[in-house]
Amino acid sequence: MDFETLFSSFELNAQPCTGSVPITWSQGRTVFGGLSAALMLKHMYVQLNDPSRKLLSYSCNFVAPLIAAQPFSISTHILRNGKNVTQIESRIEQKGATCLVSLACFGTQRSSKVQVSSSCQPSILNQQIQPQQTINYIEGVFPAFIQHVDLNIQSGALPFSGANSTELHGWMKFKHSPQNTCPELYILALADAWPPTLLQLCDKPSPASSVSWYIEFLQPMKIEELNWLGYEAITHMANNGYGIEDAKIFSRTGELLALSRQTVAVFDS
């Protein structure tokens, strides 16, 4: 079941809506975090029902494991619908427990004399996407959801390789490109597909999980097609079992689309 088909299996007009995610979209025993976040965001869009309000920021706290292949519910509430900005909260619950909580900010586009262009240019922009650099899914080695995405590494290292670098750069896309998905959903789901950069510092397999995630979207969204997107991430600091990772997401032609920051817990002792 591909990304778009999975979304259509949820009755997202319901409040709350219920559904489950197959094992093929799991990350260990849990649902792939990018997919969980994207499902909550899609439910927000349905409840908002205002295409003039564009997604500015999205934050998510991963409170408890969301077990794959088991039913869960998504409930969404508009906290405030102001003249220019709407604030929305969404939660995923499973078996009476809260698993994820997210907040999103949507805003109308207004004319302004303040104009600051992004000076960021991806270092991988002119690098070729070589098939041999794309991670090949191996059952039992990689999380199950990897079979649905293409991650093409341009620089950095694989997890548990004992590398010295804390950077990871590459290209990403779904194997089956969505036809009716908004760019923000596509970006949100894919941005969480990469392994945390601090895992490449580990010299043996070590569990890791996202604790919190905050991502900002640059509007209006300048993206030509839902295909390859650029990704450049770095862990600025890690100690006492936690690391802070920043990432930039680019279009294939180099436009900066989103800025991401995660707090990641690693269990390598």
* pLDDT-based confidence at residue 224 (cuts at 50, 70, 90): confident
Structure tokens at 15: 């409040």
- Summarised one tens digit per residue, pLDDT across range 228-262 is 999 999 998 999 999 999 999 999 999 999 999 99
Cα 154 to Cα 232: distance, rounded to the nearest angstrom: 10
Mean pLDDT of the chain: 93
Task: Provide the domain limits for residue 62.
Answer: 3-110+118-266
Beta bridge partner(s), residue 61: 101, 212
- Summarised one tens digit per residue, pLDDT across range 142-200 is 899 999 999 999 999 888 889 888 999 999 999 998 888 999 999 999 999 999 999 99
pLDDT at 269 over 90: no
Cα 28 to Cα 35: distance, rounded to the nearest angstrom: 14
Averaged pLDDT for residues 61-89: 97
The DSSP letter of residue 139 is B
Cis status of the peptide bond prior to 196, with omega within 30 of 0: no
Q: Which CATH number goes with the domain that contains 186?
A: 2.40.160.210
Structure tokens at 193: 């597909």
**How many domains does the chain divide into?**
1
Query: For the whole model, what pTM was predicted?
Result: 0.94
